[in-house]
Amino acid sequence: MSNDAFVQALVDALGEVVVTDPDRLASYRTDRAMFCDAGTPCAVVLARETADVAEAVRVAAAHGVPVVAQGARSGLSGAANAVDGGLVIALERMDRVLEIDADERLVVTQPGVFNADLSRAVAEQGLFYPPDPSSWEFCTIGGNLATNSGGLCCVKYGVTTDYVLALEVVLASGEVLRTGRRTVKGVAGYDLTRLFVGSEGTLGIITEATLRLRPAAHRPRTLAATFGSVHDAAEGIAAITRSAVIPNLLELIDGTSLHAVNDAFHLGFEEEVGALVLAQSDAAGLAGEEEIAEIAGHLRGAGAYDVVLAADEAEAALLLTARREVLTAFEAMGTTMVDDVCVPRNRIADLVDGVEEIAAKREVVVGVVGHAGDGNFHPCVIFDADDPDEAARARSAFDDIMVLGLALGGTITGEHGVGVLKRELLARELGPVGMAVQRAVKDALDPQGLLNPGKVL
């Protein structure tokens, strides 16, 4: 059947939530990734509830039309890019926190809720949702679930999947599946909840999530340590991760990144600083004081120029600005391509040294920031997109960094997902048997191959 027949069937079924205006369709083509193919959808469904998603998927399945689910389109792998002539189901209007249960320490939410808004809502009840990507103000819970996002606090508290109790998922057939449960424990059947988390919309569309919460954390103590080189900073981080202390935040910012954000936000760091380490302890009372003192000792032992403890929450927030706003600062310098590589923590120094060599070899600027406590780094290649030669060298540098991560015993993605950008390298990491099992799962749940085709596998 033609797309005209499909669109008419969609309008008949869903009415005003179907968008077909060409100008509006164009705005749903891509996420924030570079170098990823994208098409123009024939329609967008602005879903308000699960029933809208289910009906849209049923109509698409009947007409053999591919479906891409989108949230805030803040992703960095092309996983939310539209397919030419396909359907986009936009979940941005499904933005309600449905329930907060303080007794059971859980929250039920729709996928279009921004991470920061969810965190603030549960904080009002004395509760804490730890996963906090740097983009938390503009990324959605649905996107976090789709890529199994981490964040600045995951070194101590874990990543998204560690907090998912149950899901509501629309399958490729349009049927609605509920996985998991509200209880703290439960092992009945296969763990389908974890199967869908991180699947990037290729196995089903998540329309509701029940998430585990923690009691509100104590106000953290925050410190900043400056170094002459990234290598020295990495050695300090390695000393911390070898110790018994577990900070709730441990971040590394190299000189390139620090100077960019310093210029953009006037943070007052000196030009000779080659790296910054940020660390926090949210342990209570004397334990927290001892923990932050031990962290400071490890950093001084690695040659830190200066180690400063934030005097108050305002100063701590200013220090964290240096981490959360790095990408914003880079975007003012040119086109950015953000990598996402995770290595064993005892190979961090090797990674940062290798990235410096790659930047020199490819003659591009690369800034390195990341969640040093768990070895997950986001080297950012900055280039002039209007210069074809420089753009080609930037893409080569990006690929070189991923290959380096694999060579160091790591992975091509710690939290951004595979999407379109890293499909070719996935097979290299998983091997033929791993890829065969992945494809078998995909075929079982999406036999027509209509859910987010061309992504991941």
Cβ partners under 8 Å of residue 123, min gap 6 = 216
CATH number of 3-90: 3.30.43.10
State residue 1's pLDDT score: 44
Burial letters 316-353, b for 16+ CB under 10 A, else e: beebbebbbbbbebbeebbbbbbbbbbbebebbbbbbe
What phi-psi label fits residue 88: left (phi over 0), alpha (psi between -120 and 50 degrees) or beta? beta
Burial letters 141-168, b for 16+ CB under 10 A, else e: bbbbbbbbbbbbbbbbbebbbebbbbbb
Burial letters 13-33, b for 16+ CB under 10 A, else e: ebeebbbeeeeebeebbbbbb
- At the top level of CATH, which class does the domain 97-215 belong to? alpha beta
Give the relative orientation of helices 313-324 and 255-265 as an angle to the nearest 10 degrees.
120
Q: Where are the domains of the chain?
A: 3-90, 97-215, 221-407
- CA 105 – CA 102 distance, rounded (Å): 5
Q: Which two tokens stand for residue 106?
A: 């859980």
State residue 454's pLDDT score: 95
- At the top level of CATH, which class does the domain 221-407 belong to? alpha beta
State residue 2's pLDDT score: 62
**CB half-sphere exposure, 61, CA atoms < 13 A:** 19
| Residue closest to 79 by CA, chosen among 384, 437, 455 | 455
Phi, psi of 432 (to 5 degrees): -65, -40
CB atoms within 10 A of CB 290: 13
- Burial label for 76, CB within 10 Å (0-12, 13-18, 19+), is buried
- CA 74 – CA 61 distance, rounded (Å): 27
3-class secondary structure per residue, the chain: CCHHHHHHHHHHHHHHHEECCHHHHHCCCCCCCCCCCCCCCCEEEECCCHHHHHHHHHHHHHHCCCEEEECCCCCCCCCCCCCCCCEEEECCCCCCEEEEECCCCEEEECCCCEHHHHHHHHHCCCEECCCCCCCCCCCEHHHHHHHCCCCCCHHHHCCHHHHEEEEEEECCCCCEEEEECCCCCCCCCCCHHHHHCCCCCCCCEEEEEEEECEECCCCCEEEEEEECCHHHHHHHHHHHHHCCCCCCEEEEEEHHHHHHHHHHHCCCCCCCCCEEEEEEECCCHHHHHHHHHHHHHHHHHCCCCEEEECCCHHHHHHHHHHHHCHHHHHHCCCEEEECCEECCHHHHHHHHHHHHHHHHHHCCEEECEEEHHHCEECCEEEECCCCHHHHHHHHHHHHHHHHHHHHCCCECCCCCCCCCCCHHHHHHHHHHHHHHHHHHHHHHHCCCCCECCCCCC
Can you give the pLDDT of all 457 residues of the chain as single tens digits? 468 999 999 999 999 999 999 999 999 999 988 888 999 999 999 999 999 999 999 999 999 999 999 999 999 999 999 999 999 999 999 999 999 999 999 999 999 999 999 999 999 999 999 998 888 899 999 999 999 998 888 899 999 999 999 999 999 999 999 999 999 899 999 999 999 999 999 999 999 999 999 999 899 999 999 999 998 999 999 999 999 999 999 999 999 999 999 998 888 888 899 999 999 999 998 899 999 999 999 999 999 999 999 999 898 988 888 888 888 899 889 999 988 999 998 899 899 999 999 999 999 999 999 999 999 999 999 999 999 999 999 999 999 999 999 999 999 999 999 999 999 999 999 999 999 999 999 999 999 999 999 999 9
pTM, to two decimals: 0.93
